[in-house]
Amino acid sequence: MSAMTRHLLQAALLSLVLVLSGCTGMAPVATTAPTGGEAQAESLLRSGQPAQAAREYRRLADAASPPRREALLLSAAEAWLEADDGAAARATLEALGSGALPPALAARRAIVTGGLQLRDNDPEAALASLRGLEETPLDARSESRYHRIRAEALERSGRFADAARERIALDFLLSNPEAILANQRSTWADLNRLSPEQLSAQRTRPAPDTYSGWLELVMVQRLFARNPEQQARELDNWRARYPDHPAQRYLLASPETPAAPARYPDRLALLLPLSGELAPIGQAVREGFMAAYYSDRHGSNAPRVQVHDTRAGGARAAYEAAVATGAGMVVGPLTKEELADLVTGGELTVPILALNRVDVSPPPAGLYQFGLAPEDDAREAARRAWDDGHRRVLVLVPAGEWGERVAQAFLEAWYAAGGSVAETQYYSGDSLADSVKDLLNITESEQRRSQLSGQLGRQLKFQPQRRQDADAVFLAAFPRDARQIRPLLDFYYASDLPVYATSHVYSGGHNPSADQDMDGIHFADLPWIIDPGAEDLALKEHFAALWPDSAERFSRLFALGLDAYTLVPRLQALAQDPSLSIPGRTGLLSLAPDGRVHRSLVWAHFEQGIATPDVEPGFTVNP
């Protein structure tokens, strides 16, 4: 984060001024105790058998008269939704019909409808169905369902601040400790998706306001993540200011709390290529790793670090040497080939944080995979384009294995979101203009002109028409090609199409005269590149001094080394709860169940040739 952002966060933390807006509670509705078959259905629901409960509610509804019939049908639909049987829930709603209902039953129908729309991956429709229900009297179960569906819909829409507010409201309605802890972890994950500027922009109320406490807790974790002793002191101060905060009883009491102090093994081993043609890459990662080591405040928890050159005898030999000398965690290797040899060459007796990824199913126990995979960028681009409201895109990627991987990752994420693709083009450096023309159907338009001119026997005045069936472009390119592609899109009448790109369009250096040709391109990149904090700027200066001729080229690898060191003591907590995340230099880091580290990136766009941070489109600050 920038120095100004850090100052804003610290000022917000010290002033303890935080606001909670938009979290008005619903008026409770009076309920009557269930009798007979309803009591049996309620018992089935409480015992975790929602499908059986739904069948019992439906049986009772078929024998009942209005308005009891409608209430029982809604109970059946709600139970089917809880059983994750969308078809049965939808059929039950159809049996209910679309006629007028009393307000409380109409609200329940709207909530079930929203839940089904969320199942169909249409969060905006779900939010529209729930709109206007804030003041409708609801029973506790319906109110819980309302807040949960709204929270999940807002999360899928990228509106994480609003989603956190819904989860905070839901927290007070839950009674099951496991459900409360899961909801609080989701609250934590939502707030950690906000940028420092978004956090500091919250107009706030003082302690002991609940939302205020959540925001301060995230600030404490971020500001002092690399100073465990100071973080512990600030956490104690937070506990004193918010003695009755819900996170005290559940999230912070959990063994996997995200605020738990980092613990390193006594010995760490770092496996990198430090000789041969890959030596500069390995050395850049090593410099980042060791810079994080020396800037960390270990106290009595300082590990011993051993560095092994994988080019000397192979990754498997380096791993076995590390294990033999007592390493409690191995970081590396760096290349796909070395990692593949290592994971297929025998049992992993000591956990590994690999700095690349390979597809292996099932992944061996103890294998964590972390890297700067271009597929991460592509998935982020799909999410951002969808959140911005685009639904049909053009895909332009380089020919070859790398471009195919990036395109595949984008397409998988895009189709999963519900998007469609008008066309995909693979380009090479000497065919950029032709590829852009084909992508936009300009070539086809020119061919039609030529045919018509031939038929008429004379030249025609003509302006080619680009296709009109797409609303955005996904681009994977390196700076040299991207600086040509953006002007080509403009030249061929596509200046109005927004372009979403991977981080590879940006060299990471300040070069506005060359980069102005990319003005308007949006791209996902590392926080280290887009919005470095004061501490990061000092580290960048250190790296530039060590590598005066290539610091820009290897800067992202230096950040990879920094985050690799930061991840080591937090892997166990992240593995136990995939909803947890930690802020890093390469992104907001979380761990998938298969052991892969997921990076949520930050967004920027080129403006007068300068990479300028975006504000996420889904963020809102309620008055």
CATH code of the domain containing 357: 3.40.50.2300
| pLDDT tens track for 397-427 | 999 999 999 999 999 999 998 999 999 999 9
Same domain, 447 and 540: no
The answer for residues whose C-beta is within 8 angstroms of residue 16's C-beta and 6 or more apart is: 206, 207, 212, 216, 241
Residues 6+ apart with CB under 8 A from 51: 79, 80, 83, 85
Percentage with pLDDT > 70 across the chain: 85
Q: What is the pLDDT of residue 158?
A: 79
Structural domain span for residue 304: 262-369+532-599
Q: Is the domain of 487 the same as that of 545?
A: no
Is the per-residue pLDDT at 97 higher than 90? no
- Which pLDDT score is estimated for 381? 96
In this prediction, residue 99 has a pLDDT band, given cuts at 50, 70 and 90, of confident
Do residues 313 and 457 share a domain? no
Distance CA(435)–CA(513), nearest Å, equals 25
Average pLDDT over residues 68-80: 91
Examine residue 421 and state whether it is found in any structural domain, yes or no: yes
Tokens of 352: 């590994």
- pLDDT for 226: 62
Distances from the Cα of 43 to the Cα of 49, 81, 139, angstroms: 9, 17, 17
pLDDT in the model for residue 392: 96
Same domain, 157 and 211: no
- Find all residues with CB under 8 Å of 331, minimum gap 6, and list them: 268, 269, 270, 271, 289, 352, 353, 355, 564, 565, 568
Mean per-residue pLDDT over the chain, rounded? 85
In a domain, 623, yes or no: no
**Residue 536 predicted with pLDDT over 90:** no
Q: Provide the pLDDT confidence category of residue 197 given band limits of 50, 70 and 90.
A: low
- DSSP H or E segment with residue 206: strand 205-206
Structural domain tally of the chain?
A: 4
Q: Is the pLDDT of residue 34 over 70?
A: no
Task: Let me know whether 493 and 589 are in one domain.
Answer: no
CATH code (residue 102): 1.25.40.10
Q: Are residues 160 and 275 in the same domain?
A: no
- Same domain? For 277 and 361 the reply is yes
Q: Is residue 363 part of a domain?
A: yes
Residue 534: the pLDDT is 77
Confidence of residue 344 (pLDDT cuts 50, 70, 90): confident
Whether 519 and 467 map to the same domain: the answer is yes
Q: Does residue 257 form part of some domain?
A: no
Same domain flag for 272 and 363:
yes
Helices (H), 492-589: 512-515, 527-530, 534-546, 551-567, 571-576
- The tokens describing 468, both together, are 């009109």
User: Is 475 in contact with 521 (CB distance < 8 Å)?
Assistant: yes
**Same structural domain, 584 and 538:** yes
Give 315 or 460, the one with higher predicted confidence.
315
Q: How confident is the model at residue 260 (pLDDT cuts 50, 70, 90)?
A: low
Sign of CA dihedral 419, 424, 430, 431: negative
pLDDT > 90: percent of the chain = 52
In this structure, the answer to whether residues 168 and 285 fall within a common structural domain is: no
Identify the domain boundary among 189, 214, 237.
189
In which band, very low, low, confident or very high, does the pLDDT at 549 lie, cut at 50, 70 and 90? confident
Query: If pLDDT is split at 50, 70 and 90, which confidence band does 89 have?
Result: very high
Q: What is the pLDDT of residues 282-305, one digit of tens each?
A: 999 999 999 999 887 655 567 899
The mean pLDDT value for 244-261 works out to: 76
- Residue 622: the pLDDT is 31
Q: Tell me whether residue 74 is in a domain.
A: yes
In a domain, 589, yes or no: yes
Higher pLDDT, 327 or 97: 327
pLDDT at 5 over 50: no
The answer to whether residues 278 and 136 belong to one domain is: no
**Interval 105-120: pLDDT, tens:** 999 999 999 999 998 8
Higher pLDDT, 442 or 477: 477
Domain presence at residue 31:
no
Question: What is the arithmetic mean of pLDDT over 362-375?
Answer: 93
Contact predicate 588/599, CB 8 Å: yes
Q: Where would I find the H helices in 242-335?
A: 246-249, 279-295, 310-313, 315-324
Residue 621 belongs to some domain of the structure: no
Least confident of 251-255, 393-397, 531-535, 582-586: 251-255
